[in-house]
Chain A
Amino acid sequence: MSDITHPIEHHRDDEGTRLGFWLFLYTELFLFAAFFLVYSVYRSSHLEDFKLAAESLNTGIGTVNTIILLTSSLTMVLSLDALKKGSVKLAKTLLLVTFALGMAFLVIKGFEWSAKFEHHLFLQTAKGIAAGHGSPLLTPGSEMLPVGQVLFFGLYFIMTGTHALHIIIGAIWMLIVFFWMSKGSVNQDNHGVLERCGLYWHLVDVIWIFLFPLYYLVA
């Protein structure tokens, strides 16, 4: 039998693939846009509470994390450029650096979160709350935070959490690309995967560029 492979796989359309990937990035953007919309609405209706709650966030940590993420974006760009020039080794090193910076971001985020946990501003299952060891965040009764702050912390955890999830996905992706580069299937001529991984990583950065001022600066 004749071995039929798909005609599309014969002729590679890098520009088309990039176009499709950009469309995918827009869907990610719109996903976050819904969160941002919720944030803006509640910020406008609970301004004082948002400001009070935001004081418990550490601007220093936020700034450091922003710089880490921006740096990782730079190393990502340089890694792709290196691959395009044919220096696979440099590309691999820079990709690892990017990965490490992503991890650093997560570790710092983790410390920040656990500090919040200790102040009982933590996420908890509805079951736990029903069992009575709830956080003051939501336990009905005396110690419950004002609703504006409940909204703030909920949004803070879920938005930064979703963002962190994207960082994790991006990091795993980098490891896979790294592996492919070692195997040689991703190379100077075939660098589309690294390019897309980079685009994804930059988008995650763009989202953080907006998260950062909204949570650490203006609230």
Chain B
Amino acid sequence: METSPSQSYLNSHTSPKWTGGFMSWFMSTDHKRIGVMYAVAMFSFFFVAVLLGFVMKLQKMYPASSGWEIIPVELYGSFFTLHAIIMIFLFIVPGAPAVLGNFFLPLQIGAKDVAFPRVNLLSFWLYLLGAIMAVVGILLGGADTGWTFTPPYSINTKTISIFGVVFDSISWMLTAAFILGWGTILTGINFIVTIHRMRAKGMGYFKMPLFTWSIYATSWLQVLATPVVGITLLMIVIERIMPVGFFDPSKGGDPILFQHLFWIYSHPAVYIMILPSMGLVSEIIPTNSQKPIFGYKSIAIASCSIAGVGYLLWAHHMFTTGMSDFAAILFSFLTFFVAIPTAIKTFNWTATLYKGSITLTPAMLFALAFIFNFSIGGLTGMFLGSLSTDIHLHDTAFVVAHFHYTMFGGAAFGLIGGVFHYFPKMFGKMYSMKWAKAAFAFMFIGFNALYFPMLVLGYYGMPRRYHTYPDMPIFNDLQMASTLGSWILVTGVIMVFGVWIHALIKGKQTTEINPWNSSTLEWQTATPPTLFNFEEDVEITRDPYDYEAFRGEVKAGTSAGAKNV
């Protein structure tokens, strides 16, 4: 096949050896192809986990006394564990950086690729290896420890034997998580170096688009937090197979110490999940308001301070574990600080809307839904962060609703919105606006119908991770509403996939460079981008969200934002 760098990346290859079919993707070091591969893998896993969630909700449609049982008690534990492991480790933690970060970070800063393209491919392979290991572990033995792997249960719970061969599925899954962790770490390193070393001429730090800023903050968390949990999970493996004591109380260990180490990673991890989506919202909103984003610098700095402060809050997950009162008060106090930069961002987004000429594209709808959902997620987080209320709400459905509001209604909605935003640029195909908006409506309504009742359920004492509940009117009604909501939501998710797949196969071909009239650099190059992203070296002369200058450039016919030199 004839390939040349000025062809679309979909037709040109980084290696002369692999130029066709599957291998031309699997061996490609092109950041754009890697991003697309991540997208395919991640959304497939996401779909499986959605189905698991759907079944769990079905189980809770009627109370125990009605005799209703979709999945037996023992299996429920495996279901929520697998649901969460897939959603967290295979979907939302790699999340937006792996898909859209890979694809658009170099484009946004005018680079030809990331700093270490081959390491980038290695990250993807590690992700795939870890994911396959996790899936094999799920199929062979599963785990019912919860995605938090809390000891001593995770240390003492038995191994299973398959045809007489002992298979330690818990250790296996932990190792898979460790490998997945290295995938993320390498991506983080790659992005940090890319941002520091590969910006185009004229692209100062405060001329970078905000998605790049959010990826930068995220990458630091990936590099500095992931190793801690990686080794902690391995400590559990070691403790399972060797006679050493780390966390098992019968060997003198302190299980609370595990929780410290686990949350030292996993609290920053929630910012790994949410920050990139915040970055996407910061791209979608100014584009669809045709206005400079309000408070550019404060959003950029807020991203970094969320990452910084976010590292210091982890023990707010542990108020009820028996840690010292002093630490509980301290961590509760610190938790409130992270609300400040978060609120700054929210105010800035809404202020950007003010007097903008707003177009409600599907991406914009998801971005607005992000603000709505994430505000609920964030504010309920304040309930959980304050010591006294958390004692009541801890480990109830309130917590489940809270983190779905942030991780699903926030991070995943942002990611899906981002994919809608960038879809035409990525594939040169246009999707059906009508169906995309319909899918959004189902997702938004279904989402809130599913999780809002759970906030109330939790407040009334419905525990988390329970397979059923007593027959009481308040429980029965809210659980039923919540289950019905899950049907609407899952319909919406299926519709989103339908819209994407239909667009890829039968969508209208487009080479329109800038369908949404966006002022940032990634839109000022061919659709789909060529192998090396830009035909010539680019030079940046204006701020990323300077819409006035952008409109001038459009009128004058010079390519916006970037001047070819």
Contact = CB atoms under 8 A, between A and B. Distances in A.
Please tell me whether chains A and B touch each other in their complex, using a CB distance cut-off of 8 A: yes
A31 B3 contact: no
B251 A147 contact: yes
Nearest to B249: A147
Give the interface SS of chain A, mostly helix, strand, loop or mixed: helix
Interface string B412-435: 000000000000000000000000
B91 to A, nearest CB: 23
Interface string A146-158: 1110110111011
B13 interface: yes
A16 B251 contact: no
Contact of B5 (A4, A41, A146): A4
Interface in A31-71: 31-35, 37-38, 41-42, 45-46
Interface string B242-258: 11111000011110010
Interface residues of B, number: 53
Interface in A115-138: 123-126, 129, 134-135, 137-138
Interface stretch (B51-59, B230-238, B439-447, B512-520): B230-238
Nearest to B196: A19
A35 B231 contact: yes
B244 A31 contact: no
A87 interface: no
Interface string B167-197: 0000000000000000001001110110011
> By CB atoms of chain A within 10 A, which of B227, B244, B253 has the most?
B244
B424 to A, nearest CB: 25
Interface string B507-531: 0000000000000000000000001
Contacts of A124: 242-243
Contacts of A138: 243, 245, 251
Given A13-B115, A20-B116, A38-B257, A134 B2 contact: no
A207 B226 CA distance: 19
Nearest to A157: B244
Interface stretch (A21-29, A178-186, A190-198): A21-29
A100 B440 CA distance: 64
A123 B116 contact: no
Given A34-B261, A35-B231, A151 B253 contact: yes
Interface in B1-43: 1-5, 12-14, 16, 19, 29
Contacts of B196: 16, 19
Contacts, number: 142
Contacts of B2: 1
A42 B257 CA distance: 10
Given A3-B16, A41-B254, A23 B193 contact: yes
Contacts of A135: 243
Contacts of B4: 2, 4
A30 interface: yes
B112 interface: yes
A1 B257 contact: no
The residue in B1, B193, B223, B228 that gathers the most chain A C-beta atoms within 10 A of its C-beta is B193
B390 interface: no
Question: Which of B188, B243, B244: most chain A CB closer than 10 A?
Answer: B243
A117 B348 CA distance: 63
B200 to A, nearest CB: 13
28 contacts: A2-B3, A2-B5, A3-B16, A4-B3, A4-B4, A5-B14, A6-B14, A7-B112, A8-B117, A16-B115, A16-B193, A19-B192, A23-B189, A27-B223, A27-B227, A30-B228, A31-B227, A34-B228, A38-B235, A42-B253, A46-B252, A123-B242, A123-B243, A138-B245, A147-B251, A153-B244, A154-B251, A158-B235
Interface of A: 1-8, 13, 15-17, 19-20, 23-24, 26-28, 30-35, 37-38, 41-42, 45-46, 123-126, 129, 134-135, 137-138, 146-148, 150-151, 153-155, 157-158
Interface of B: 1-5, 12-14, 16, 19, 29, 112-113, 115-117, 119, 185, 188-190, 192-193, 196-198, 223-228, 230-232, 235, 238, 240-246, 251-254, 257, 260-261, 531-532
